[in-house]
Amino acid sequence: MARDKDQGGGFNPLGWMVTFGDLITLLLTFFVMLLAMRQPEIQKLKAVFGIFAHGGPAPLALSDKAKIQDVQRLLDSIRQPTAEELTSPQQELARKLELPPSQEGTLPGALQPGLNLRSERRGMVITLANDLLFAPGRAELSPRARQAIRQAAQILRYGDQPVSVEGHTDNVPPPAKGPYPDNWSLSLARAEAVLHQLIKEGIAPSRLRVAALGDTRPLVPNDTPQHRAMNRRTEIVILMPNP
């Protein structure tokens, strides 16, 4: 009986090191995630580490609680970004356009009605509704159109990327007795009018090119008056180099 008792398993004072080693591995994993994330979710991480700091399941009872509390204090010291510091589409656009920091404030906070901004693989696209710029079947800019193009020029003036001015129409042909025989001619004349106005606003001609696309690139089907209005547009494309 004595020999059986000697061969039995007793308490191993170093057994806690296995659990502690696993815990350190988990901590390392969390810190790698913290560095990898562009905007770490601080509150969630604090909640996770709070479980360890305030006592968790029984297997963690033998771990080095003091070191875990040090980690908790470190997380508490991380200042969460304010709303103004969070990356916004405007700040992202400013970086892509290579605006100097002192000029980022010149980027319009909100484009006026009739202007839209979107990102595509080829670059940033400023869309100007032709109903805002031109009378039906015409290519002469209205005073309101010049104001809209002036706002678009504020986005362009600090960069040096090439810019493509592209005219689009719906699928309705121009008036038979008008100056433009087809949608190709109308879209070209409108794109040229916008291009010349951009030059007047200070955009270097060497950066600009013009394209007439007629009704070949609709955003939506030309099946309703609302959809046709969306397709009647002039796009100013800030061409970005492929990554």
Distance of CA 73 to the CA centre of its chain: 33
- Residue 109: what pLDDT? 42
Looking at CATH, the fold of the domain delimited by 89-239 is given as: 60s Ribosomal Protein L30; Chain: A; (3.30.1330)
Query: Tokens 């901004």 sit at which residue?
Result: 117
At 123, is the pLDDT very low, low, confident or very high (cuts 50, 70, 90)?
confident
The proportion of the chain whose per-residue pLDDT surpasses 90, expressed as a percent, equals: 34
Range 72-78 average pLDDT:
53
- For residue 113, is pLDDT > 70? no
- Residue 165: what pLDDT? 97
Residue 65 CB neighbours (<10 A): 15
- Residue 228: what pLDDT? 93
Q: Where, residue-wise, is CATH 3.30.1330.60 in the chain?
A: 89-239
pTM of the model: 0.57
In the Cβ-directed half-sphere of 79, how many Cα atoms lie within 13 Å?
A: 5
The string of DSSP letters for the chain reads -HHHHHHS----TTTHHHHHHHHHHHHHHHHHHHHH-SS--HHHHHHHHHHHHT--SGGGGGS-HHHHHHHHHHHHHSPPPPTTTS--HHHHHHHHTT--GGGGGGS-SSPPTTEEEEE-SSEEEEEEEHHHH--TT--PPPHHHHHHHHHHHHHHTT----EEEEEE--SSPPPTTSS-SSHHHHHHHHHHHHHHHHHHTT--GGGEEEEE-TTSS-SS-S-SHHHHHHHSEEEEEEE----
Q: What is the DSSP pairing of strand 208-212 with strand 163-168?
A: parallel
Range 24-37 average pLDDT:
69
**Residue that wins the pLDDT comparison between 37 and 133:** 133
Give 166-198 pLDDT, tens digit per residue: 999 999 999 988 899 999 999 999 999 999 999
- Residue 115: what pLDDT? 73
Give 9-28 pLDDT, tens digit per residue: 566 776 677 777 777 877 77
Instruction: Give which of 144, 106, 148 is closest to 127, Cα–Cα.
Output: 148
